[in-house]
Amino acid sequence: MSRYGRLVQVHELSRADARRIAVQAQWLDRRRPASLLEVLRQLTLLQVDGNKAVAPSADLVLWSRLGSGYRQAELATALRDRVLVELEGMIRPAEDIALYRSQMQASRDEQRGWPGTHDWVRANDAFRRDLLFRLTAAGPMAAGELPDSAKVPWQSTGWSNNRNVIKMLECMERRGEVAVAMREGNERVWDLASRIYPDDAAVPAAEAARVRDERRLRSLGIVRASNRDYVGEAWHVGQAGQPAVIEGIRSKWRVEPSLIGRPFTGRAALLSPFDRLIFDRKRMDDIFEFDYQLEMYKPVEKRRWGYYALPVLYGDRLIGKVDAAADRDAGVLRLNAIHQDVKFTAPMIEAVNAELDDLAHWLGLDLVDA
């Protein structure tokens, strides 16, 4: 019942229902999208991660949806042509920037992000203005090409301590003053936001927040009603969708109603460790009952599944992990191990092998056992 006393439908779902909703929302069922932009409009974003143990995460996500007809140059071209843009480590359709302009303006007017950030930017206003002046005059520049004239150094217990130029640029990005023009390897090259983003009027803040929530839910299908934010992207969906409960799980959920009861036909897919189907590890554990961690930061002797293991989706279940590595100098994709969370049936084996063959073909490598 709502606070106004009206009855509100609460959908009662099984775990299988929830899994199928999540898989379909992420375009990982039997359907295939027609284009890169169609994928981005549904998923809303691609996380930037340049690790090339197999392929960069954004490319893996696109391949898993579009298939081997997708070429990595397509993403680079879309970014170069400003069809897509990068914002806070996420690649988004350029047309969506209007939904973030009010948020950017708010970042100029009030404290946002880590405690003290707003005060730090204000204390270094001359530094900020100097960076704007230099980018205006010289065009795109990497952080290492810009001088550090901060009066108050950035204080952190982590890797960013005293990295004043990059921290100021990131603050200016949230303010909508600068933007990533391109990447050279993993290094961001910065320019004025006015040269990168489309000149679309800001969507009013309340409407923009509502639309972002609705699109986020549409891309994920089902999320916990109470959730935290993540750097670069919220994990909650506000009041988007409709309330739901999942059998055997105590949490309250919000679900995209258009996906409830939709006929489901699954397929096999190898996923990036940063795929949005599994990015929320708590949701992954709740509805997929899947044990997974990205182990690239662990010592070799403590890894269970491998440096950059790819989760394996089959139908509406996550059934295992593939430990593979691209050796481009040797021209091979080395298959180190396939970890089975459940005993693979003959159809599973056939489907996973077909995905491995397709992955190797897409990368232009020969698949070999390590």
3-state SS, 3-27, equals CCCCCCCCEEECHHHHHHHHHHHCC
- Residue 367, SS3 per DSSP: strand
Q: List Cα–Cα distances, 179 to 19, 87, 105, 132, 343, in angstroms.
A: 36, 7, 14, 11, 48
Strand ordering across the sheet containing 252-255: 11-13, 242-246, 252-255, 222-224
CA–chain centroid gap for 258, Å, is 23
Look at 111 and 205; give whichever has higher pLDDT. Answer: 205
The pLDDT, as a whole number, for residue 364 is 97
Query: Mean per-residue pLDDT for 65-78?
Result: 96
Distance from C-alpha of 151 to C-alpha of 100, rounded to nearest angstrom:
30
Q: What is the mean pLDDT of the chain?
A: 94
Can you state the angle between helices 72-80 and 36-43, rounded to 10 degrees? 70
What mean pLDDT do residues 324-337 have? 98
Q: What angle do CA 282, 13, 278 make, to 5 degrees?
A: 25
Q: Is 3.30.420.40 the CATH classification of the domain at 113-196?
A: no
DSSP 8-state secondary structure symbol assigned to residue 286 = I
Lowest-confidence pick of 24-33, 104-113, 279-288, 309-318: 104-113
pLDDT digits (tens, 9 = 90+) for 96-115: 999 999 999 988 886 555 55
269-287 confidence digits (pLDDT tens) = 999 999 999 999 999 999 9
Q: Are 1 and 256 in contact (CB under 8 A)?
A: no
Would the pTM count as exceeding 0.85? yes
Write down the pLDDT at residue 232.
59
In the chain, residues under CATH classification 1.10.10.10 are 113-196
pLDDT on residue 161: 76
Pairing of strands 252-255, 268-270: unpaired
Distance (Å, whole) CA 186 – CA 34: 29
Taking only the tens place, the pLDDT of each residue in 147-173 is 999 999 998 777 777 799 999 999 999
What is the DSSP secondary structure assignment for residue 175, as one 8-state letter? T
Please state whether beta strands 229-230 and 233-234 pair in parallel, antiparallel, or not at all (unpaired): antiparallel
pLDDT digits (tens, 9 = 90+) for 185-199: 999 999 999 999 999
Q: How confident is the model at residue 4 (pLDDT cuts 50, 70, 90)?
A: very low
Percent of the chain's residues with pLDDT above 70:
95
Tokens representing residue 31 in the block = 């359907």
